[in-house]
Amino acid sequence: MVRILWPALVLTVGAGMARAELNSLFPRADASPETATRASLFAPDARMGFFAPLPDRIAPTSVAPIIVAPIIGTGTAAVDRLLSLIARAEAGSAGYDAVQHGARVRPVRLPTQMTLGEIYQWIDDTPGQPHAIGRYQFIPPTLRRVANVRGFGPDTPFTAGVQDALALVLLEDAGLSQFKASALGRRQFMHNLARIWAGLPLPNGRSYYEGYAGNSATMSWVAFSGGMERIWPVGG
C-alpha cells in the first residue's frame, strides 16, 4: 500500500501509542456543540451490534498506522477536496463539530475540544441514541476501528487534523489508492464511497442505506459526480 505523507500533522510515538499534536487551524468559539442536520450516518459495522446487520458491506483493507497524517481537509489538494465533498453530505455547516441531530444527550463541549477517550465515555454514558460525531459523522464502531488503525489512543484530541486522518483510512477502504492508480474505475469508487458514507448517493439518487435508521442521500448524483469530475477530471 502506498503511504500518504502529509506535512501538517506529526505524531510522536511513546509507550506503544501515537499522540496527535496538531489542533485545528480554524479554532471555534467556546460554545455548545453544533448539531448536524443530516440524517446520514456512517454505515455501521454489523459485528458491533450498533444496528442490525447490513448486506454486502465492503471489507476494510489492511491499513498500517501512518506516522504523519493529512493537512486540514479544507485545502485545495485533491484528497482535501474529496473530504470536503463528503463532509458537505455528512455534516453540513457544523463541520468538525457536528453531532448527529438524533442525539438527545449531546457532549458538553465541542467535539474538537474533546479527546477520543472523552467521546468514548460520552458514548458509554448515553446508550440508546445515535452517536455519529465530527465532520465525517463517525459512529462508535467505526471511530474505534479507524482510531486503532491510526494508533490514536484515548488521550488523542479529536481535532480537525485527527478527524481527517481517520477519514483517510476509510478512503483507503473505498479504494482511493487503486482509483488514483487507475486500477479502479470512477463509478465503482463512488459506489464504494456511498457504501461507507450514507449521505452520498448512488446513481439512482438514493442512499445505499435509504430508509435504514433514518438514512437518506443528502446530495444529488449530479452534484456528487460533478464534484468528483472537478476534483479528478476525466482524462486529466
Query: pTM of the predicted model, to two decimals?
Result: 0.71
- Could you read off the pLDDT tens digit of each residue along the chain, which spans 236 residues? 443 434 333 333 333 333 333 333 333 334 445 445 443 444 443 333 233 333 344 444 444 433 334 444 556 799 999 999 999 999 988 899 999 888 789 899 999 999 999 999 999 999 988 899 999 999 999 999 999 999 999 999 999 999 999 999 999 999 999 999 999 999 999 999 999 999 999 999 999 998 887 789 999 999 999 999 999 997 54
What pLDDT score was predicted for residue 21? 31
Q: Which of 125, 114, 153 is nearest to 17 (CA)?
A: 153
92 to 15, 35, 48, 84, 160: CA distances (angstroms): 37, 9, 27, 10, 15
What pLDDT score was predicted for residue 18? 37
Q: CA geometry: angle at 131 spanning 107 and 165, to 5°?
A: 90
d(CA 233, CA 181): 14
Give buried/exposed letters for 88-126 (b at 16+ CB in 10 A, else e).
Answer: bbbbbebbbbbbbbebeebbeebbbbbbbebbbebbeee
d(CA 94, CA 142): 20
Q: Which of 165, 156, 164 is nearest to 117 (CA)?
A: 156
What pLDDT score was predicted for residue 31? 43
- Give the type of residue at 130: P
Which residue in this structure is represented by grid cell 470536503?
Answer: 84
d(CA 96, CA 34): 9
What pLDDT score was predicted for residue 38? 42
What pLDDT score was predicted for residue 74? 57
